[in-house]
Amino acid sequence: MTCDVRLRDVTDEDLPIFFVQQLDPEANRMAAFTAKDPADRQAFAAHWARILGDETVVHKTVLVDGRVAGHVASFEHFGQPEVSYWIGREFWGQGIATMALTALLRSVRTRPLYARAAKDNVASIRVLEKCGFTVSGEDRGFANARDAEVDEFIFRRDA
Ligand SMILES: CC(C)(COP(=O)(O)OP(=O)(O)OC[C@H]1O[C@@H](n2cnc3c(N)ncnc32)[C@H](O)[C@@H]1OP(=O)(O)O)[C@@H](O)C(=O)NCCC(=O)NCCS
């Protein structure tokens, strides 16, 4: 069964849904480089106020058949344009992240574009590969969600 995946601007009504998604322990473990305390509502509100007020950040809500499924973004990180995404667990495994990132890549034309994924975040790595990213480097940093240093791949897409 295929579903209708669209991107639209983030609204205030989406934020409580993103907050619940941010609490998911399995999603945090996968993403690794997450908020220090995902349950901190004030930090969450401050983070979203900052990124929604930043004109250099493109942040879109992912709608699946009209339901808020997650978010996808493009922003500058370590001086390079980077993409990221977070999909609520009940929507996993249906190609949603792949379709959402594909849609973002159509509207964000900056190239090269970069992305990062923990080396064991198999799902995210597959999303990036299917969207035309290839490994361009490696890095290692402290990951809040694992309270440890974690290895990650840096991905790049030129076309
Ligand atoms: C990573 C994430 C975005 C994937 O979302 P999704 O909508 O399930 O991804 P897709 O359905 O587009 O799947 C992409 C590929 O990953 C594979 N995949 C999905 N979940 C997987 C898992 N847990 N283990 C292994 N492969 C997995 C799919 O089979 C698919 O590959 P295929 O087409 O070769 O079969 C989602 O799990 C998520 O939001 N996780 C938490 C946040 C996060 O990790 N964000 C990325 C930070 S780098």
Cα–ligand 1 centroid distance for 83 (angstroms): 15
d(CA 20, CA 79): 30
Q: CA torsion, points 43, 47, 49, 51, in degrees to nearest 10?
A: 180
Indicate which residue's Cα is closest to atom 9 of ligand 1.
97
Cβ(70)–Cβ(96) below 8 Å: yes
Check residue 2 and give its pLDDT: 78
**With 70 as the cut, is the pLDDT of residue 49 above it?**
yes
Q: Among 72, 75, 124, which residue has the most ligand 1 atoms within 8 Å of its CB, making it the best to mutate?
A: 124
Q: What is the pTM of this model?
A: 0.97
Cβ(86)–Cβ(51) below 8 Å: no
pLDDT in tens, 85-94: 999 999 999 9
Cα–ligand 1 centroid distance for 152 (angstroms): 16
pLDDT in tens, 111-143: 999 999 999 999 999 999 999 999 999 999 999
